[in-house]
Structure 1
Amino acid sequence: MKEIAIDRLRPTQASHGRIEVEKKTRDFARLSGRELQMAIAEKPIPVVLGPGGDAFAIDHHHVAAALWAAGIRKAPVVLVADLSSLDESQFWLTLENRSWTWPYDAQGRRIAFGAMPRHVYELEDDPYRSLAGLVREAGGCEKTTVPLEEFRWADLFRATMAAPPAIEADFDAALQRGVDIARSKLAIGMPGFLGDKPSV
């Protein structure tokens, strides 16, 4: 499996959930030796090659940022597509058509592709994105293969509740509200919607 320097990985989203990054960083920091190598190998970062041959991460931005925060400077990658023959405009439009990019800032506002951060560890913190991940872990919804599903949940929470705190220790009330919303009629049609069904 090929490895790449994390500071060479280009992001395809502008924001992430800092709480999720911090949790993953703690998980990596607790490991060493073979256990750490195995944990890193389990989550290869899917990339596409873009103009100039740059490697763009199309998923696992939280993993890459957590590895960087834990002092790990290389990550395994798996090549999904080589789009290096496209110009900048064609490249980003192709990513969007394939649901491989999320060009929205931490407030849910559309941004220009040229305004995307340069490094995976420079993404803005979106507390709603953290909430989306924590709600799924709490059984509010289930993981699916729908691309960018966590951002869709983050936008639902952004539209239906006050901003959650940026600190995990203060998250209990926001998490309960998020689970309630995820299990309500407001979330019908969302990827992984469970309604009143028990989570697996």
Structure 2
Amino acid sequence: MNMKKIAELRPTQVTHGEREVRQKTETYRALSPHDLEMAIAEKPIPIVLGPAAQSYAIDHHHVATALWHVGIKTVPVVLVGDLSSLTRAEFWLTMENNRWTYPYDREGQRVAFADMYEHVWQLADDAYRSLSASVRDAGGYEKTAVPLEEFRWADFFRCRLALPETDAEFEALVKQAVKLAKSKAALGLPGYIGPAD
């Protein structure tokens, strides 16, 4: 399996869920060295090679960031595509066409590709991205193979729910968001399971 330094992985998104990163970091810190090694091997980072043969992570930004926080320097990677022969403009257009990038900030506003962060651990916190992961984990919707599904759910919640300020408010919001995720308003989103019978 190919290995890459986390510091060399270029992010393809602008935000992540800081709460989700913290949870993963705590989980990794609690593992024995052997179990941590196994956890790392189970989640290789999918990458695409871009101009100047730079490696762009197209998923598992939270995993890479959490591992970096616990002192892991290199991770296994899986090459999904080699776009290194393209110009920078062609590269980003192809990335977008394949849904391998999400250039939107925590307000849902588009960001120029030139303004993307250099490292995965620099990503801005989007509380709604953490909310979408927590709602999925709570059974609000199912995980699918649809690229960037968590961001679609985050944007859905962003338009309908106020941001929490405390952990207690966040937990209450997850319950509210699970109900919303199962309502007809969410019909058509990836992993939608609808109301319980």
CA contact (8 A) 1:46 1:78 kept: yes
CA distance, structure 1, for counterparts of residue 167 and residue 132 of structure 2: 13
Question: Counterparts of 1:1-200 in structure 2 under 5 Å?
Answer: 1-165=1-165, 168-197=167-196
AA matched with 1:89: A
- Kindly state the Cα deviation for residue 187 of structure 1 after the two structures are TM-superposed: 0.2
CA distance, structure 2, for counterparts of residue 62 and residue 194 of structure 1: 25
Root-mean-square deviation (CA, aligned residues, Å) is 1.1
AA matched with 2:174: L
Report the number of matched residues: 197
CA distance, structure 2, for counterparts of residue 139 and residue 147 of structure 1: 19
Gaps of 5+ in 1: none
Runs of 4+ in 1 over 6 A off after TM superposition: none
TM-score of the pair, normalised by structure 2: 0.97
- Kindly state the Cα deviation for residue 168 of structure 1 after the two structures are TM-superposed: 4.1
Q: Deviations over 1:60-100 (max 9, x none)?
A: 00000000111111111011111000011000000000000
AA matched with 2:191: G
CA distance, structure 1, for counterparts of residue 110 and residue 88 of structure 2: 18
CA distance, structure 2, for counterparts of residue 194 and residue 164 of structure 1: 25
CA distance, structure 2, for counterparts of residue 52 and residue 169 of structure 1: 46
TM-score of the pair, normalised by structure 1: 0.95
CA contact (8 A) 1:128 1:164 kept: no
CA contact (8 A) 1:5 1:74 kept: yes
Q: Secondary structure at the match of 1:196?
A: coil
CA distance, structure 2, for counterparts of residue 12 and residue 168 of structure 1: 28
AA matched with 2:6: I
CA contact (8 A) 1:131 1:164 kept: no
- Kindly state the Cα deviation for residue 25 of structure 1 after the two structures are TM-superposed: 0.5
- Kindly state the Cα deviation for residue 169 of structure 1 after the two structures are TM-superposed: 4.8
Q: Secondary structure at the match of 2:194?
A: coil
Gaps of 5+ in 2: none
Q: Secondary structure at the match of 1:118?
A: coil
CA distance, structure 1, for counterparts of residue 168 and residue 30 of structure 2: 20
Q: Secondary structure at the match of 2:159?
A: helix
Is 10-19 or 29-38 further displaced after alignment?
Answer: 29-38
CA distance, structure 1, for counterparts of residue 167 and residue 43 of structure 2: 24
CA contact (8 A) 1:17 1:128 kept: yes
AA matched with 2:45: I
CA distance, structure 2, for counterparts of residue 57 and residue 188 of structure 1: 30
CA distance, structure 2, for counterparts of residue 160 and residue 59 of structure 1: 26
- Kindly state the Cα deviation for residue 32 of structure 1 after the two structures are TM-superposed: 2.5
Q: Secondary structure at the match of 2:47?
A: strand
